[in-house]
Amino acid sequence: MKIIPLQEGNYVVNKDKEFKLINEFPSDSGLKMAIQPFLVVTENDYILLDLGLGVNKNGKPLIHHLLESHNILPEQITKVLISHFHKDHIEGIGYFDGETFIQNFPDATIYLQKRELEFALEQQHPSYNLSILNQIKQFSNVEMLQYDKGQITDEIFYKVSAGHSPFHQVFWIRENNEITFYGADDLPQEAYLKLHVAYKTDYNGKRAMESRKKWEQEAKEQHWKVLLYHDMKVPVLEF
């Protein structure tokens, strides 16, 4: 199993959920975090875990540039796993060309939690890009997950953790006695394991905190590799 962090950069985000690169706006106040989707390569799949902010660079999606810097073409991606629908995790799914929406990964199957999408579409909040979310409903390459936990393939497992958002989900990828875990925004940074805090910005902060304690114990026992989407220093934590 090969893990590749696709590092879009380090950002500062304000209360209006506006993301700016720290090196361009170093004096801005707000939360500081990395934005980094992950590519996991197994014998059977090229798997993307979340999709970043959807930045374009020189007329092409940044996430395509990042993949190509590792000699991987966008059409090689076979599966996209979506944790939740906040814009910093989903906007890299595609872009508008006039009124036409262009998918960044039309050849991949996109796995998302149906109940989380339905919740997101009801929100009027700057964390959500409703124009993109309404497009996702129409994709022919989407697989709607509807249960609290399940198995996508013999290697890929999911569970609704419901901490950061009501139907937020996490993923495990298992191959040849290796276990990679992606906790998305229920475990976005290494510091979340050191400070046992129920964050008020989460939908259910206490549940997220308790999940982290359980995952840390299991990670130590089973030697997981944990992917940290928002950590500016440690993208992959090995136990």
Over 70: is that where the pLDDT of 27 sits?
no
Cβ contact 57:20 at 8 Å: no
Note the pLDDT tens digit of each residue in 70-118. 999 999 999 999 999 999 999 999 999 999 999 999 999 999 999 999 9
Q: What is the 3-state secondary structure (H, E, C) of 10-65?
A: EEEECCCCCEEECCCCCCCCCEEEEECCEEEECCCCEEEECCCCCCEECCEEHHHH
* Average pLDDT of the residues in 115-134: 96
* Nearest Cα residue to 51 out of 223, 187, 224, 229: 229
Burial environment of residue 124 by CB neighbours within 10 A (0 to 12, 13 to 18, 19 or more): exposed
Dihedral, 221, 216, 190, 47 alpha carbons, nearest 10: 70
State yes or no: pLDDT of 212 exceeds 90.
yes
Query: pLDDT of 38-67, one tens digit each?
Result: 999 999 999 999 999 999 989 899 999 999
Please give the average per-residue pLDDT across 126-136, as a whole number.
96
Segment 130-146 mean pLDDT: 97
Tell me the C-alpha distance between 208 and 197, whole Å. Answer: 9
Task: Give percent above pLDDT 90 in the chain.
Answer: 90
Lowest mean pLDDT among 2-11, 20-29, 173-182, 202-211: 20-29
Over residues 134-143, the mean pLDDT reads 96
Q: Tell me the average pLDDT of the chain.
A: 96
CATH numbers and ranges of domains, the chain: 2-238 (3.60.15.10)
Structural contact between residues 52 and 8, judged by C-beta atoms closer than 8 angstroms = yes
Give the pLDDT score at 80: 98
Tell whether the model's pLDDT for residue 147 goes beyond 90.
Answer: yes
pLDDT higher at 15 or 191:
191
Q: Specify whether the CB–CB gap between 33 and 189 falls below 8 A.
A: yes
Give the rounded percent of residues in the chain with a pLDDT score beyond 70.
99
